[in-house]
């Protein structure tokens, strides 16, 4: 009788890290257990990675990738409810001040404490004017803005778009004429590190909110951009944190990139007589609209850029670490769908940080 060899026992995360220490010539005097304790206590996986790589010396890119993978797996083992985002190399500290994230927390807290009444207008359920003012007044990004008379929720576009994003994530929903927080998903959202919260909002706003609804008469133009987002990510292929860019030049670059697609859709055609007036106005204003919608309402609101406030530099924006990381991650096309990350399915097992998210 021939006995088959039994399969080799699985190597533990700690054994993998000890093997990496040997490969990386890490001094034996290093307190590995203490280091693993810091990894476990880190607020997010990227902070855990930076804690370790800031303590040891790794000169090989291959070894650095192995260390990153092993550390994230160790962190995830102790935080099974948190979905990993291996392509998004951001720490919680880097995203805490993102306007969209701060506003989302304020909005959810306001609705959690006091659900908002909804009124039907032309077949659409909108926040009533009193709740619009109440919630808008709680948003950090609107703190310095004057309170304007409210005819409709659409009078406050940032608020309306934020609600659309939170509804896409099913963090809030209409119930019997009121907008309420979905408690189970909200509690799970709050337990996530700030990086994961940021990513959920970015993904939902970018892929699951119809940009055309917030772009007025230029809706068809921005819808084409949203339908072909990989072309947009290609524009940031070589960007670096701290890189300054002229706003109008970047808007023109976006325009030149998508002009052939707009042409195919017939959006650049000019009619005759009075029928030509509107297309001429639309096309003439496109660079300005792209500068506002793409630069202010998306890139700046999500913290991908900072806008210069210095006199003489108002036409510039600066790419942040967030912007460089997000564009690079989107180019890989390996990030998960944010709408799925709040489901309990992602709590059952530690994902393979080297596998492709589908």
pLDDT tens digits, 93-138: 999 999 999 999 999 999 999 999 999 998 899 999 999 999 999 9
Q: What is the pLDDT of residues 1-47, one digit of tens each?
A: 444 444 444 456 677 777 888 888 888 777 878 888 988 999 999 99
Which range scores top for mean pLDDT: 146-150, 163-167, 250-254, 272-276?
A: 163-167
**In whole angstroms, how far apart are CA 12 and each of 36, 74, 186, 213, 351?**
13, 10, 34, 51, 15
pLDDT value at position 31?
80
Radius of gyration for the alpha carbons in the chain, expressed in angstroms and rounded: 24
b/e per residue 321-353 (b: at least 16 CB within 10 A): bbbbbbbbbbeeeebbebeebbeeebeeebbeb
- Over the stretch 203-241, which tens digit does the pLDDT of each residue have? 999 999 999 999 988 899 999 999 999 999 999 888 999
- Alpha-carbon distance of 229 to 226, in angstroms, equals 5
> In DSSP terms, which residues pair with 230 in a beta bridge?
none
- Are 173 and 167 contacting, i.e. CB atoms less than 8 angstroms apart? yes
Tell me what pLDDT residue 250 has. 93
> Is the confidence at residue 358, as pLDDT, over 60?
no
Residue 314 reports pLDDT greater than 80: no
Q: Is 127 helix (H, G, I), strand (E, B) or coil?
A: strand
pLDDT at residue 177, as a whole number: 95
Q: Between the CA of residue 156 and those of 99, 133, 296, what are the distances in Å? A: 16, 9, 15
b or e along 24-45 (b: 16 or more beta carbons within 10 Å of the residue's beta carbon)?
A: bebeeeeeeeebbeebeebebb
Strands (E), 227-357: 244-246, 305-307, 316-319
Amino acid 355: pLDDT: 36
CB-neighbour burial class of residue 302 (10 A; exposed 0-12, middle 13-18, buried 19+):
buried
Residues 39 and 28: their CA atoms lie apart, in Å, by: 19
Question: Which of 78-82, 197-201, 274-278, 323-327 shows the lowest mean pLDDT across its residues?
Answer: 274-278
CA distances from 147 to 104, 126, 135 (A): 19, 18, 11
Contact call for residues 335 and 203 (beta carbons, < 8 A) = yes
Average pLDDT, stretch 147-170?
91
How far CA 44 is from CA of 8, 31, 232, in Å, comes to 32, 21, 28
Burial of 236 (C-beta count, 10 Å sphere; 0-12/13-18/19+): buried
pLDDT per position as a tens digit, 52-103 = 888 888 888 888 888 898 889 889 999 999 998 988 999 999 999 999 999 9
> Is the CB of residue 32 less than 8 Å from the CB of residue 18?
yes
Sign of CA dihedral 29, 31, 32, 33: positive
Average pLDDT, the chain: 86
Q: Tell me the whole-structure pTM to 2 decimals.
A: 0.87
Q: Who has greater pLDDT, 299 or 147?
A: 299
DSSP states along 175-186: ETTEEEE-HHHH
pLDDT bucket at 311, cuts 50 / 70 / 90 = low
């Amino acid at each position: 009788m021939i006995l088959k060899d039994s399969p080799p026992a699985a190597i533990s995360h700690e054994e993998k890290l000890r093997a990496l220490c040997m490969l990386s010539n890490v001094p034996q005097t290093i307190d590995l257990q203490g280091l693993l304790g810091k990894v476990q206590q880190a607020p997010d996986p990227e902070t855990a990675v930076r804690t370790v790589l800031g303590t040891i010396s790794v000169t090989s890119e291959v070894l650095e990738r192995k260390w990153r993978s092993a550390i994230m797996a160790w962190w995830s083992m102790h935080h099974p409810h948190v979905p990993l985002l291996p392509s998004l190399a951001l720490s919680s500290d880097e995203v805490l001040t993102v306007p969209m994230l701060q506003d989302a927390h304020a909005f959810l807290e306001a609705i959690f404490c006091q659900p908002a009444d909804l009124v039907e207008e032309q077949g659409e359920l909108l926040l009533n004017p009193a709740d619009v003012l109440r919630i808008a007044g709680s948003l950090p990004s609107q703190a310095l803005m004057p309170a304007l008379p409210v005819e409709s929720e659409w009078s406050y576009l940032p608020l309306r778009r934020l609600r659309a994003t939170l509804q896409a994530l099913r963090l809030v929903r209409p119930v019997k004429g009121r907008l309420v927080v979905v408690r189970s998903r909200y509690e799970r959202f709050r337990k996530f590190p700030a990086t994961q919260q940021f990513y959920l909002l970015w993904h939902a706003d970018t892929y699951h909110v119809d940009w055309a609804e917030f772009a007025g008469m230029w809706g068809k133009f921005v819808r084409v951009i949203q339908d072909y987002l990989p072309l947009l990510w290609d524009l940031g292929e070589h960007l670096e944190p701290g890189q300054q860019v002229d706003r109008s030049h970047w808007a023109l670059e976006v325009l030149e990139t998508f002009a052939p697609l707009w042409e195919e859709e017939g959006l650049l055609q000019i009619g005759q007589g009075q029928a030509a007036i509107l297309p001429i106005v639309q096309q003439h204003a496109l660079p300005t609209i792209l500068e506002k919608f793409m630069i202010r309402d998306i890139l700046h609101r999500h913290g991908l850029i900072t806008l210069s406030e210095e006199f003489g530099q108002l036409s510039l924006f600066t790419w942040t670490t967030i912007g460089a990381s997000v564009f690079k991650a989107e180019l890989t096309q390996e990030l998960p769908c944010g709408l799925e990350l709040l489901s309990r399915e992602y709590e059952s097992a530690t994902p393979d940080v080297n596998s492709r998210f589908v």
